[in-house]
Amino acid sequence: MSSSSSSPPPANKFQGLKDTVHKFLHQKNAFTDILGTIEGTTKVKREYMFYGLILFLCVYLVIGYGAGLIVNLLGFIYPAYKSCKAIDSVEKDDDTQWLTYWVVYSAFGIAEYFTDMFLSWLPFYFLAKCGFLIWCMMPIANNGSMFIYQKIIRPFVVKHEKTLDAAFDSATQLAKDAGKSVASAAKDAVGNVDLATLQKAKDTVESFTSEESKKDD
């Protein structure tokens, strides 16, 4: 079987991408409402405005100020919003999708902590990071999050599962024991303070009563 018969030609892929963008831009939400209002006023198609916005964002992420903050917001706000909706929904697939995203996002954040000092000065670093995060959150079956989880994270966890479980169980037990010790020490301290305070108050009352008795005499 030839490669042309096993995968759709580039023209069909491009048309499929255009159809996906068209469907996305005609959904009912605040973003598309704004585009629709501008479209009705200027007569410029919302698709052109969307592509222009993407082009502006790409250029800004290369030469603009605060590109790192913008990329981090893009990688957090939309996934956080979709995660909140997934929590309230009865479906399980969206829960899996966004849990996978946050696992990959957290792992990426840890890796970036060590590589940021070497890579962040590159002109296209934030643009590449933005593209990576968009790939991870794309609403497709095998997006970046699922690909990285299945190929890297899950095999590592499965291989070291018993060791990790034992370590986490030990840490949990140590935390519980420490919490009990702290609570017991705090309770004893409060009890001792209360007894000392009561004894001091008693002595003060007795002293005051004795002095008043002497005055009466």
pLDDT along the chain (217 residues), means of 10: 52 69 77 83 86 87 85 92 90 89 94 81 87 90 92 92 89 84 72 60 68 59
Cα 151 to the center of its chain, rounded Å = 21
Separation of CA 85 from chain center: 14
d(CA 148, CA 128): 16
Q: Show the CA angle centred on residue 48, arms to residues 131 and 79, nearest 5°.
A: 35
Residue 54 confidence (pLDDT): 86
For position 193, what pLDDT does the model report?
53
What pLDDT shows up at residue 175?
86
For 125, residues 6+ apart whose C-beta sits below 8 A from its C-beta are 119
Model pLDDT, residue 4: 46
To the nearest 10°, the Cα dihedral for 73, 79, 83, 85? 90
Q: What are the domain boundaries of the chain?
A: 1-63, 66-159, 167-217
CA distance linking residue 35 with residue 14, whole number of Å: 23
